[in-house]
């Protein structure tokens, strides 16, 4: 299956290192799995500006600081840059997402659902829109956007980093992307806890030894120890996660 991910942005170049590095880069270059091949395509919103200065923004009605991205430019970018260029019959073939502070706050559960049901599904291709300036004209958002996601309660200067964070955390859950050896199931948040501490060589680092239990080879005892450690780590670092346990 081929899954296309379209990014509407003023700064496509920000995604270059993302696509070049690591597991996510490999996945979104379509090189990580035979069962799902991602294609990441970029639409530079500026290419759809109708004016000779190629501006995409204008001052807000009602006054106020900053500039707002124009609804007509965004619509052109979506319809011409994605729907027509991608050969889609209608916008219904696309799941359009805007990264924005108002959105549902991203977490591991949303990343998993997004990875499995949106990135991993063969129904709709995905469009992710990165805003800039003070954001996008509300009329475009209300008509063309299906989902809004925020990566936290703070304001970025643009949506590109938010989109990369969302895609990076979600692609790990797409079947076939991590593979058997690297399961997401042992990672932090999967069972509501922080992961247990990890150790590798050397066995003695500046007088600190690796816990003996990890060297003894008793699989069941190691698992019990790791579970206890998870509880302790969570209590120490993220006690808020234990509140409802
Ligand atoms: C300077 S921000 C605009 C903030 C907007 N005026 C507000 O107060 O909500 C520019 C762009 O960055 C992105 N952005 C900012 N903070 C974000 C967050 N926490 N999560 C996701 N995207 C964010 C959005 O795409 C937004 O359009």
Question: CA 1 from chain center: how many Å?
Answer: 20
Tell me the two tokens of residue 214.
């990890």
DSSP per residue, 26-60? HHHTT-S-SS-EEEEEEEEGGGG--STT---EEPP
Q: In whole angstroms, give the CA distance from residue 209 to residue 104.
A: 43
- Alpha-helical (H) ranges within 50-209 are 71-76, 85-86, 108-113, 138-144, 160-171
The CATH number assigned to the domain holding 227 equals 1.10.1270.20
* 12 Cβ below 6 A of ligand 1: no
Ligand 1, residue 155: give the atom nearest the CA: 16
pLDDT tens across 80-106, in order? 999 999 999 999 999 999 999 999 999
The CATH number assigned to the domain holding 137 equals 3.40.1280.10
Residue 183 maps to a domain: no
Please report the pLDDT score of residue 182 as a whole number. Answer: 67
3-state secondary structure (DSSP) of residue 87: coil
Residue 181 maps to a domain: no
Total of domains in the chain? 2
Q: Are residues 139 and 223 in the same domain?
A: no
Please report the pLDDT score of residue 223 as a whole number. Answer: 96
Q: Are residues 24 and 135 in the same domain?
A: yes
Q: Are residues 204 and 123 in the same domain?
A: no
pLDDT tens across 187-206, in order? 999 999 999 999 999 999 99
Q: In a mutational test of the pocket of ligand 1, which residue from 155, 161, 167, 168 has the highest number of ligand atoms less than 8 Å from its CB? A: 155
Tell me the two tokens of residue 121.
């599904």
- Residue spans of the chain under pLDDT 50: none
Q: In a mutational test of the pocket of ligand 1, which residue from 145, 158, 160, 164 has the highest number of ligand atoms less than 8 Å from its CB? A: 158
Which range of residues forms the domain containing residue 208?
Answer: 188-242
Give residue 131 CA to ligand 1 midpoint distance, Å. Answer: 7
Residue 32 maps to a domain: yes
Please report the pLDDT score of residue 61 as a whole number. Answer: 98
136: which strand partners?
Answer: 69
């Amino acid at each position: 299956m081929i899954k296309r991910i379209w990014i509407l942005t003023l700064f496509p170049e920000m995604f270059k290192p993302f696509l070049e590095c690591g597991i996510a880069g490999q996945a979104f270059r379509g090189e990580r799995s035979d069962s799902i091949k991602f294609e990441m395509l970029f639409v530079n919103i500026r290419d759809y500006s109708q004016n000779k200065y190629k501006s995409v923004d204008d001052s807000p009605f009602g006054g106020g600081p900053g500039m707002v991205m124009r609804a007509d430019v965004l619509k052109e970018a979506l319809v011409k840059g994605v729907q027509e260029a991608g050969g889609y019959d209608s916008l219904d073939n696309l799941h359009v997402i805007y990264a924005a502070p108002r959105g549902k706050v991203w977490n591991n559960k949303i990343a998993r659902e997004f990875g499995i049901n949106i990135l991993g599904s063969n129904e709709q291709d995905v469009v992710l829109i990165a805003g800039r300036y003070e954001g996008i004209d509300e009329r475009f958002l209300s008509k063309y956007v299906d989902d809004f996601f925020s990566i936290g309660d703070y304001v970025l200067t643009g949506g590109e980093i938010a989109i990369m964070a969302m895609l990076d955390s979600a692609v790990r859950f797409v079947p076939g992307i991590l593979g058997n050896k690297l399961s997401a199931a042992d990672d932090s948040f999967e069972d509501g806890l922080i992961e247990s501490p990890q150790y590798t060589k050397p066995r003695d680092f500046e007088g600190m030894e690796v816990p003996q239990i990890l060297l003894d080879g008793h699989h069941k005892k190691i698992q019990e120890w790791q579970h206890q450690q998870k509880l302790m780590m969570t209590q120490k670092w993220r006690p808020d996660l234990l509140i409802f346990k």
